[in-house]
Amino acid sequence: MSETCYCYSPKLDGENEEIADFLTGPTLAQRNWRFGLCFLYLRHVQGRLWNHKRVHRIYFKLALTLRIKPHQ
């Protein structure tokens, strides 16, 4: 194993809070938006070039997912 595996420290922790703030805005304004639309809004409208997987992880950590109603 490489030495960097033992010395790993996450970078830009403050940026995760910034991503969380930017995610809560569109989801509260547009309740029917899911992750895909939120990510496209952040990427294309606001010009934020964050990693897709990182934004997805924070999206689920904030519990912003919509509950899917079962069909009867």
58 versus 13: which is more confidently predicted?
Answer: 58
pLDDT in tens, 4-29: 667 766 666 688 888 888 888 878 78
List the structure tokens of 53: 């997987």
Kindly state the average pLDDT of the residues 24-42. Answer: 83
Instruction: Please report the pLDDT score of residue 10 as a whole number.
Output: 63
Kindly state the average pLDDT of the residues 65-69. Answer: 68
Q: What's the pTM?
A: 0.67
Burial of 36 (0-12, 13-18, 19+ CB in 10 A): exposed
8 versus 55: which is more confidently predicted?
Answer: 55
Q: For residues 22 and 6, give the distance between their C-alpha atoms in angstroms, rounded to a whole number.
A: 32
